[in-house]
Amino acid sequence: MAAKDTITVFDQQGQPRELPRQEFLDKVLPKLLEAAWGNADQLYQQIVFALENGLHDGVLKAAERLDELDGGAERGKVLLSATQFQTGQHDAAEATLRASLEKNGESSIAVVNLARMRQARGDVDGAQTLLSRALELDANQENALGWSCQLMQEAGGEEAVVEFLEDLSKGPGNWRATLWLAQQKLRSQDADRGIELLRGVMDLVARDPGALMGASADLGKAGKLNELIELVGPRFDERRHRPETGFNLMQAYAQLGRADEARQVHARLSALNLPPLANALAQFGQRLGIKPPAGAPAAAQPAAPGQPAGQQQLELRLFVVQGPLWMQGLGAPWLAPEKDPKAPLVTFAGFSDEGLASQPKGQQTRVDDDIARMARALPLYLSESVYLRTAARSDMVVPILPGGMFVVMGQLWPIEALHKGRPPEAKPDYIVQGLLARDDGGFRVELVIFDGKDSKEVHRIRAIGLRKLEEHALRLEDELLDWLETKGIARTVPKTGFVGKLLGGKPHSGPQTVSRPSVDGQVLHLTGISNLLAMAVPAIGLGSREILANEAELLSGCIEDARKNPDCGAAQALAACGMMFAVRYGSTAVAKSKGELLELVDKDRDAKGVLRLLSPGIYMRLGEKERSEAAKVQLKGAAGETYDKWLESIKP
């Protein structure tokens, strides 16, 4: 997956800033590492932060230093091995892990990491033997259990997974298998059995902040609010558990009309004085009739350089999607038009739900799921459109809470918040925000466009009486692109399509990434974009897969977009990206949907379309190594030098 060009850091007020990746790597990261050079715990946190942001080349020496400070203990060895592996030193990485096993003895985390390395190098049998051993050492190790479930799914479907978890849960202390069984029951209309299972393991579940968060989310999605309060409420400790667990608990109290108890949870979270939670708490506080205290104290200061970077995981993140969302997961820049780095930049922000700001005080209402979904999907689609079909660059700012929970505002974002982290010369030319709401005739949407340089509003585009928001995406696109043309940003869709140009300028009747979905297919494409964003969160490490309500449905929706939009190359790329994301975070839905995507790939090969060009990468990620190698030979030289370099990068 292509790494984004900036790194998110936070200023003294807890506000996010975007630093150019190279600037962070050259100037900021070395100072952070230097400040932590003599403190193993702090150095560990900084290395983990760097690896999570794809900066492995900048921390290899730091990982070696951590191993020295740790005296060869497992923590330092495992992190050094991971860093070596990500920098291409595969032999050294495996040797480091084996040295740790010899010195420190077997542990589940070390053994499962070794299994991953053997799998990546083609030793499938050896990897599975090691995986089994990892589960023997610790049946609650999340990576080992998740991978085992994936293999069971591929071999025998959901029934095999359930049988495997049932057998494993019988072992003493194997609480995670029981938890996953319970979550499966909650998602499959057998909620009573799920709750029964949860009751037996909740004390153990509460020891793991991520697991408790997942349990609270699934109870809420199943509508079991009383049980959520019963099982999670007494165990939730805001000082060590994830704040989104507190939000789930607060939401349950509010929906049941227990406002006083919701306010108590709100007060506990507010007392943490974490600036990145301030907006979400203010939004929820408004719903609860809580007014911010007069003369409220200033925001707490974030960790200074050298302090544990793990504290940053509690802060609101602004996930910046540059260009089409599907480009983030494919690592295939040749699929989209090449952009002049000096081209105008149009930035989109997550749209807002006006209903959140206009609720009567004290009234408890549910979040409007339709609006919340479109608050992300519509601007993502419009950003995709601007990038693919005009001369401009585009990006979108997606606000995310710790754990991967999306944030919807009740009003427009302050322009200065969207400028945070951008040097003056990198400010966008235009910022597009949106207001969504229900009215007597259905839905209404209003695009509000600001000049990115002076922050002044310059234009509005309105649509009212809409039966479905997603049915008017093409209309909004047309009006926005028409207006941008009046500002000198021309439409640039070539007659043969960009993929056609890659293939030597020959006429091309297959899908084109620059072509948009059909009128009838726009609803599916917006659904696919929404699904893809949800899958991106665990795929890139912004949250846990446990927050996803239905992984199979999400992936199926991405593939259905491609099936029903055969002439839209973006839909084909989106389907491929959805599968890559699912493989990346170990989704059990891969086995079920794998055949559907491969069928589309095979059909597309004669059409010389997007899936055909992507087929070597798709085959390799789905374990079809021989087909991948054959496709690489067949396609070499078919689409230019950049494409050939991409082919060379596809390896087991």
Same domain flag for 498 and 643? yes
Same domain flag for 563 and 639? yes
Is the pLDDT at 32 greater than 60, yes or no?
yes
Residue 243, pLDDT score: 86
Same domain flag for 502 and 461? no
40-44, 117-121, 423-427, 512-516: which is most confident: 117-121
Residue 94, pLDDT score: 92
Is the pLDDT at 606 greater than 70, yes or no?
no
Residue 499, pLDDT score: 42
Residue 577, pLDDT score: 92
Pairwise pLDDT comparison (618 vs 120), residue with the higher score: 618
Residue 609, pLDDT score: 81
Same domain flag for 565 and 448? no
Looking at the domain assignment, is residue 332 inside a domain? no
Looking at the domain assignment, is residue 58 inside a domain? no
Same domain flag for 483 and 583? no
- pLDDT, tens only, 305-338: 333 333 333 355 677 888 899 987 787 877 888 8
Q: How confident is the model at residue 362 (pLDDT cuts 50, 70, 90)?
A: very low
Is the pLDDT at 339 greater than 60, yes or no?
yes
Same domain flag for 442 and 530? no
Arithmetic mean of pLDDT over the chain: 81
Looking at the domain assignment, is residue 11 inside a domain? no
- Domain end point (choices 491, 524, 548): 491
Same domain flag for 353 and 455? yes
Same domain flag for 583 and 473? no
Is the pLDDT at 74 greater than 50, yes or no?
yes
Mean pLDDT in residue range 395-412: 77
Contact 288, 263 (CB under 8 A): yes
Looking at the domain assignment, is residue 346 inside a domain? yes
- pLDDT, tens only, 135-187: 998 899 888 998 898 888 888 888 898 999 999 999 888 999 999 999 999 98
Residue 504, pLDDT score: 38
- Domain end point (choices 491, 524, 551): 491
The count of structural domains within the chain is 3
Bridge partners (DSSP) listed for residue 321: 396
Mean pLDDT in residue range 391-395: 92
- Cα dist from 104 to 74, 81, 488, whole Å: 6, 14, 64
CA–CA distance, 589 with 184 (Å, rounded to integer): 13
Same domain flag for 355 and 437? yes
Looking at the domain assignment, is residue 440 inside a domain? yes
Nearest CA among 521, 529, 499, 502 for reference residue 512: 499
Q: Which residues fall within 8 angstroms of residue 156, CB to CB, at 6 or more apart?
A: 163
CA–CA distance, 264 with 284 (Å, rounded to integer): 12
Contact 550, 189 (CB under 8 A): no
- pLDDT, tens only, 234-249: 999 887 788 889 999 9
Looking at the domain assignment, is residue 551 inside a domain? yes
Pairwise pLDDT comparison (425 vs 570), residue with the higher score: 570
Residue 306, pLDDT score: 31
CATH of the domain at 252: 1.25.40
Residue 543, pLDDT score: 67
Q: How confident is the model at residue 346 (pLDDT cuts 50, 70, 90)?
A: very high
Residue 305, pLDDT score: 31
Same domain flag for 419 and 498? no
CA–CA distance, 222 with 231 (Å, rounded to integer): 14
Residue 210, pLDDT score: 85
52-56, 481-485, 636-640: which is most confident: 481-485
| Percentage, residues of the chain above pLDDT 90 | 28
CATH of the domain at 415: 3.40.50
Pairwise pLDDT comparison (530 vs 13), residue with the higher score: 530
Same domain flag for 585 and 600? yes
Looking at the domain assignment, is residue 463 inside a domain? yes
Looking at the domain assignment, is residue 261 inside a domain? yes
Mean pLDDT in residue range 564-587: 86
Is the pLDDT at 14 greater than 80, yes or no?
no
Contact 176, 211 (CB under 8 A): yes
Same domain flag for 510 and 636? yes
Residue 503, pLDDT score: 40
Pairwise pLDDT comparison (441 vs 347), residue with the higher score: 347
Task: Please spell the DSSP secondary structure of 181-225, one letter per residue.
Answer: HHHHHHHTT-HHHHHHHHHTTHHHHTTSHHHHHHHHHHHHHTT-H
Is the pLDDT at 546 greater than 70, yes or no?
no
Mean pLDDT in residue range 282-304: 59
- Domain end point (choices 476, 491, 506): 491
- Cα dist from 224 to 63, 126, 369, 599, whole Å: 45, 43, 18, 39
Is the pLDDT at 296 greater than 50, yes or no?
no
Mean pLDDT in residue range 497-509: 39
Residue 502, pLDDT score: 44
CA dihedral 528, 533, 534, 535 (to 10 degrees): 90
Helix axis angle, 191-199 to 225-232, nearest 10° = 10
Which range of residues forms the domain containing residue 620?
A: 494-652
| Percentage, residues of the chain above pLDDT 70 | 83
